[in-house]
Structure 1
Amino acid sequence: MQGPAWPVRLESDDVVLRPIRHRDRREWTDVRARNSAWVGPWEATNPVPGGEPPTYGEMVRSLNRQARQDSALPFVITERQDPARAPAIVGQLTVSSIVWGSARMATLGYWVDQARAGRGIVPTAVALATDYCFSALGLHRMEINIRPENRPSLRVVEKLGFRDEGMRLRYLHIDGEWTDHRSFALTAEEVPEGLLNRWNARRHS
């Protein structure tokens, strides 16, 4: 084991990251169905002819297996909206491709309910996950890859101060074709005070 045991729960104000669960199927599916046009254009696809996207159960089993192998942290993004109810699922964030050894790096991806976009939820979630990876797991580098047309997602890394490291040509298979992505990164030395602290200072200044 490279770091503190999974599962882990991370929170700041009304934003809570927690592990995705099999019993989240109905709520997660409802959110995704409502946001199919919003999320679909940026969703990775299988380049193999006839390759079907995984079912919800297959996705959760795969993510949980990766978590047990210390290669991923599969979170749902939840938000406290009603004091009388559990935080509602408003998106998903996965830290994946965790590499240990001399690299100690990972890749982060996310999506959020369009109705909750622009409220600071995703930057807060990304900051929470990045701080956990740097401080608790001892990772050194976090990377986020975004299609250049995905303006809302680009705003997230701009707000958080991730460095633009340039274009990766035909990097991922998206919506039936190989697409270019811009690569953004941050290392632990760049946020000695913590990314969440820096984000909160910027948003409240």
Structure 2
Amino acid sequence: MQAATYDLEARHPGWPARLGPLKVAAGTVALRPIRLRDAGDWSRIRLRDQAHLEKWEPTAPGPWQDRNGFWSWPPQWLALRGLARRGQCLPFVITVDDEFAGQITIGNVIRASLRSAWVGYWVSSTAVAGGVATAAVALVVDHVFASGGLHRIEATVRPENDPSIRVLTKAGFRQEGLFQRYLDVAGGWRDHLCFAITAEETGPGLVAKLVTAGRAEHV
């Protein structure tokens, strides 16, 4: 039994897991693994928040309503869960006061001598202020450095996306450079800034730094 547990953890260290809670101005933030029954909340928020989300997300085929309808979630959940079980990503739901408020994913996990990945996230239009995204980023980065065995996390963001840039800088990421015409977003090839952080730069941890700065409290 112990050997089986070790083998399972070796395939996908750090997932599944529950992270937090952490209290910020907007409420109590926690992360949990994605679930099949998230379809209703996921679709409702995504359809309502099209104007809030579409301008920042990679262009995809088909209308927004079809790509974010209720029945679009099960295949996405299945694909993400499959990647997680192969150790290639760590997909989480962001909750605020136990309510679905967005997603945060550690993706493109590469191990061996690199031990790197990217972080991507979105939050409901009702949760864009009050420290929700910053808390989620801090929780997941601390987790993947401590339990996920990673060393470096990257994030890319359009230069016009001031709110997301503030999230990353408050969490402790540093800007490394500019990727020109990096992703097809909102129908065009858009420049993206590259931000990154390594395990050595986190000190006592990103959550601890938020708490020390008065931006969050342990619950």
Give the TM-score of the pair, scaled to structure 1.
0.89
Question: How far off its partner does 1:2 sit?
Answer: 5.0
Work out the CA distance in 2 between the residues paired with 1:118 and 1:18: 21
Residue 85 of structure 2 corresponds to residue 73 of structure 1: no
- Structure 1 stretch 157-166 or stretch 1-10: which is displaced more? 1-10
> Is the 2:12–2:85 contact (alpha carbons within 8 Å) kept by the matching residues of 1?
no
Question: How far off its partner does 1:20 sit?
Answer: 1.1
> Is the 2:88–2:108 contact (alpha carbons within 8 Å) kept by the matching residues of 1?
yes
Sequence identity percentage: 41
Amino acid at match of 2:157: I
> Is the 1:2–1:137 contact (alpha carbons within 8 Å) kept by the matching residues of 2?
no
Deviations along 1:18-49, whole A, 9 cap, x unmatched? 11111110011111122111011011123x79
Quickly say closer, same or farther: Cα 1:125–1:204, change in 2 above 3 A: closer
Q: How is 1:1-205 mapped onto 2 (pairs within 5 angstroms)? A: 1-2=10-11, 4=13, 6-13=15-22, 14-46=28-60, 53=67, 55-80=72-97, 87-204=98-215
- Relative contact order (alpha carbons < 8 A, sep ≥ 6): 1 or 2 greater? 2
Question: How far off its partner does 1:3 sit?
Answer: 5.3
Aligned positions, number: 197
Work out the CA distance in 2 between the residues paired with 1:173 and 1:204: 34
> Is the 2:59–2:184 contact (alpha carbons within 8 Å) kept by the matching residues of 1?
yes
Structure 2 unaligned segments of length 5 or more: list them.
Answer: 1-9, 23-27
Question: How far off its partner does 1:179 sit?
Answer: 1.2
Amino acid at match of 1:131: D
Amino acid at match of 1:26: G
- C-alpha RMSD over aligned residues: 2.0
> Is the 1:141–1:188 contact (alpha carbons within 8 Å) kept by the matching residues of 2?
yes
Work out the CA distance in 2 between the residues paired with 1:66 and 1:3: 9
Work out the CA distance in 1 between the residues paired with 2:136 and 2:104: 8
> Is the 1:45–1:53 contact (alpha carbons within 8 Å) kept by the matching residues of 2?
no
- Secondary structure of 1:24's counterpart equals helix
Work out the CA distance in 2 between the residues paired with 1:63 and 1:8: 15
Work out the CA distance in 2 between the residues paired with 1:124 and 1:183: 20
Work out the CA distance in 1 between the residues paired with 2:215 and 2:40: 36
> Is the 1:17–1:76 contact (alpha carbons within 8 Å) kept by the matching residues of 2?
yes
Work out the CA distance in 2 between the residues paired with 1:15 and 1:129: 12
Question: How far off its partner does 1:105 sit?
Answer: 0.7
Work out the CA distance in 1 between the residues paired with 2:215 and 2:82: 39
For 1:84, the equivalent position in structure 2 comes to: none
Give the TM-score of the pair, scaled to structure 2.
0.84
Question: How far off its partner does 1:170 sit?
Answer: 1.3
> Is the 2:180–2:190 contact (alpha carbons within 8 Å) kept by the matching residues of 1?
yes
- Secondary structure of 2:78's counterpart equals helix
Structure 1 unaligned segments of length 5 or more: list them.
Answer: 81-86
Work out the CA distance in 2 between the residues paired with 1:204 and 1:115: 19
- Secondary structure of 1:199's counterpart equals helix
